[in-house]
Amino acid sequence: MNNTPSNNTNKPNYITSTSSLPSTNNNHFIKKIQTCAITFQGNASNGLQQDAFFFLDDWYQETLGIMPIQDIDGQFCLAVSDGVASSNYSQHCAKAVVKAIATLWQQQHSVSINDIYQWINNPKNICKNGKKLNPKWLGACATLAMVQAYPLIHKSNQNNDDNEQLQQSYDITITHMGDSRVYLQRLADNQLTNKQNTNGWRWLTRDHNLLNELVEQKANEQGIAVNPNDYNKDGMAGSLYGLTECFMLGSSNEEDIDNEGTQQTLNIQAGDCLLICTDGIHDLVPCQDWQSIDANTELDTWLKALKKQVYHSKGRAYDNGTAIVVRFL
């Protein structure tokens, strides 16, 4: 790798909650966060690695690798980007997306879809020494799934002493475009209605594709809300999975940029896990086939087992695969 780790020295202060929380809820406070990432080229027919990812403070695009398990303290950002394989140059778009995130996160610790669009379509950011963008790269596309996490500090003074205990929880912002996804494992979850399996894993993002657009169109015509279980269905005609939103290199005019992506927020509890991954993972091994993660699970071992499942699946790792797992304890 030629990229140099960035130095996050300008982190803003924690967001602070002034409300006192009862001691009975202390088990819900997050005391430790760990993360790990894996990426592999797989058996992609074009022989290219078109996945790229941003991991805490740097971007990567590797044919095979697993990051060391890392502890996290404070705010953080994690993201995966998948070059759309219809172009043999889409790896450059995926790389540009994660490079943009690396730069923007270091500068402002908040990254939006529009920020990324503006960055990747500034030739000065993509091309070195004032060179023009390679015409072959024009129209190259990539997806995104990104988690930005911000700690919330709660003051607890229920003991009526002068030494207040500070406990921590997290709010996360999920931003995605295309069919890269974010999943949540919440084993004892009685709040989310989108409960798809018994191992605790469920998707939080809906793919931007023709199939899900038709689901929404039908619901609108009937004047009803979309049933979340109707999203991201498997086993449909291949043409229905055509992407309707993704990043594209060469969009110099803002009027040409119609994609807005999707953003949502979620409060994270102790015991939760997140998985951020490209379609080379979830297309071949659906979340109901993933193992659960508990406090004793080695995250790198878990990711290696997931990779093995991808290679042993019916699809035999026909695509690149990248996954980042985060555990909150």
Taking alpha carbons only, the member of 180, 168, 127 closest to residue 267 is: 168
Task: Determine how many CB atoms are found less than 10 A away from the CB of residue 66.
Answer: 18
- The count of structural domains within the chain is 2
107, 238: one domain: no
Task: Determine how many CB atoms are found less than 10 A away from the CB of residue 107.
Answer: 12
158, 288: one domain: yes
What average pLDDT does the segment 237-243 reach? 88
What average pLDDT does the segment 179-192 reach? 79
115, 238: one domain: no
Q: Which residue has the higher pLDDT, 190 or 67?
A: 67
Which residues form the domain of 183? Answer: 15-205+251-328
The predicted structure's pLDDT at residue 15: 35
What would you measure as the largest C-alpha separation in the chain, in angstroms? 67
Q: Report the CATH number that the domain containing residue 181 is assigned in CATH.
A: 3.60.40.10
Q: What percent of the chain has pLDDT over 90?
A: 66
How many angstroms separate the first and last alpha carbons of the chain?
Answer: 32
The predicted structure's pLDDT at residue 238: 84
277, 215: one domain: no
The predicted structure's pLDDT at residue 165: 64
55, 149: one domain: yes
Q: How far apart are CA 42 and CA 315, in angstroms?
A: 11
- Confidence band, pLDDT 50/70/90 cuts, at residue 134: confident
- Confidence band, pLDDT 50/70/90 cuts, at residue 133: confident
Q: Which residue has the higher pLDDT, 211 or 131?
A: 211
Residue 12 in this model has a pLDDT that exceeds 50:
no
The predicted structure's pLDDT at residue 70: 98
235, 88: one domain: no
Give residue-wise pLDDT tens across range 70-98. 999 999 999 999 999 888 899 999 999 99
> CB within 8 A of 9, min separation 6: which ones?
none
109, 153: one domain: yes
152, 179: one domain: yes
Q: Where a domain ends, among 194, 225, 242?
A: 242
Tell me if 189 is assigned to some domain: yes
The predicted structure's pLDDT at residue 118: 93
Taking alpha carbons only, the member of 66, 67, 102 closest to residue 81 is: 102
Residue 41 in this model has a pLDDT that exceeds 80:
yes
The predicted structure's pLDDT at residue 200: 92
The predicted structure's pLDDT at residue 116: 96
Tell me if 51 is assigned to some domain: yes
Q: Which residue has the higher pLDDT, 199 or 182?
A: 182
294, 213: one domain: no
224, 100: one domain: no
Residue 198 in this model has a pLDDT that exceeds 80:
no
- Confidence band, pLDDT 50/70/90 cuts, at residue 250: confident
Unique residue bearing structure tokens 């069919």: 179
- Confidence band, pLDDT 50/70/90 cuts, at residue 18: very low
Residue 278 in this model has a pLDDT that exceeds 60:
yes
Q: Which residue has the higher pLDDT, 84 or 15?
A: 84
